[in-house]
Amino acid sequence: MINNKALEKGLSMASQEAVDRYNKFGKKLVMGVDKGPLNAGPLWIWTYLSLEDNADKTETTVRSPYMSTSADFWEP
């Protein structure tokens, strides 16, 4: 959800000309399933964002690592 919101925000802040060029010529960003949960600090920190192009190079799927812990994970 956060990655989709970031993409939406970026597109909303770009000029109409830039958005039109992206839509006409650009490689579309698609948010894939996140990697995780990676609930140990080193696992989450050292797992990188992955970018994978589709066969015809028209889309790039973005997958990001995530950590899922309770709000009081380390201190109540």
Q: What does the DSSP 8-state code read for residue 75?
A: -
3-state secondary structure 14-72: CCHHHHHHHHHHCCEEEECCCECCCCCHHHHHCCCCEEEECCCCCEEEEECECCCCCCC
Question: How many beta carbons lie within 10 A of that of residue 63, not counting itself?
Answer: 19
| pLDDT score recorded for residue 16 | 98
| pLDDT score recorded for residue 70 | 84
**1-39 per-position pLDDT tens digit:** 899 999 999 999 999 999 999 999 999 999 999 999 998
Residue 51 above 80 pLDDT? yes
| pLDDT score recorded for residue 69 | 83
